[in-house]
Amino acid sequence: MKYRVLAINPGSTSTKISVFDDDVSVFIETLRHKESEIAKFEGIIEQFEFRKELVIRALAEHNIKLTSLEAVVGRGGLVKSLSSGTYKINDKMKNDLSNPKLWGRIHASNLGAFIADSIAKEVNIPAYIVDPVTVDEFEEIARISGCPQIERKSLLHALNLRYCGYSIAEKMGKEFIKTNQIGVHLGGGISVAAIKQGKLVDVNNAVLGMGPFSPQRAGALPIGDLLEMAFSGKYSHQQMKKMFTKTGGLIAYLGTDNGGKIIKMIQAGDKKAKLVFDAMLYQISKEVGACATVLEGKVDAIFLTGGLVYNDYVIEHLKRRISFIADVHIIPGEKEMEALTQGVVRVLKGLERSKKYK
């Protein structure tokens, strides 16, 4: 039996949807939202009915009846820290997703669970989330920061990393939970994760404060200089937060986060572009090396995934520095819709159990 699953992945100005029959794509579509439409709403959660209606309309345009679905899955969003897996949506989860105090903000992806649950209830089928960014499988030793008031936290591209980890394990003819891998997600933010026996046991904080700088984010910074900036009186808290998460990294140095454009700048002889871009790849390589020590050198595979991996320049430079550790596998782009769907299909087929959100 093939299982038909609707996946919903809201972004700040778009909602990506897909329908899969097991691992076969029926369609994938990105619904774009004008900023003027979004601006009408007081907050993100208030956009629920607006976005749900667009999803229902798109399904009708593709001749997909709700009664043909076996399940609906939404992007997890900023829920509490939890172990990886597929979670059935419940009221406790939706309450947490509505609470900005939990992570200091509400992300557009939080809407995924609301839309998925509402559509599923119309036809009495289950609704889930899979591997949200708050997946936390750190070993206790990884939580120690060097400052007792600050604990290292897990925040990463868990959805894409675990899906790719499953794919690489299958290629190797092994079970995912019996492999050690290093997963590298290269997008606007960068996650470099040590995956030990299928668990994401350590990772840089891909949003704010750790690891390599990225196209948009500043990454780890020298603490002394950071303190001087913070207390200089030149910047507010919000200005600095934006500087380090939205307009840092490649944007701050080169005015663009477009990897393809920067490669063309390098090919045209731009020495600054080459230095900065190579520095990012250098820092990524260092983080991979760090993850190899977490796994005590027992690394079955390294994989590179995300939008930047479409670039041969990126692949060649990273391989030169890290291929001595283990074979490097390339999975370009983000596989979020496939990952959401397959997380649910594994549950529907009895290969995994769904988890309860507490």
Render 38-58 in DSSP notation, one character per residue.
HTTSSSSGGGHHHHHHHHHHH
Residue 38: pLDDT above 80? yes
Q: Mean pLDDT in the chain?
A: 96
As a residue count, the chain comes to: 358
pLDDT at 75: 96
Residue 304: CB atoms within 10 Å: 24
The DSSP H or E segment spanning 166 is helix 158-171
Distance from C-alpha of 20 to C-alpha of 23, rounded to nearest angstrom? 6
Q: How confident is the model at residue 206 (pLDDT cuts 50, 70, 90)?
A: confident
Domains plus CATH for the chain? 4-134+338-356 (3.30.420.40), 140-326 (3.30.420.40)
Residue 354: pLDDT above 80? yes
First-to-final CA distance of the chain = 32
| pTM score, whole prediction | 0.93
Distance from C-alpha of 277 to C-alpha of 318, rounded to nearest angstrom? 12
Tens-digit pLDDT profile for residues 146-204: 999 999 999 999 999 999 999 999 999 999 999 999 999 999 899 999 999 999 999 99
Residue 209: pLDDT above 80? no
Is 176 within 8 Å of 155 (Cβ atoms)?
no
pLDDT at 327: 98
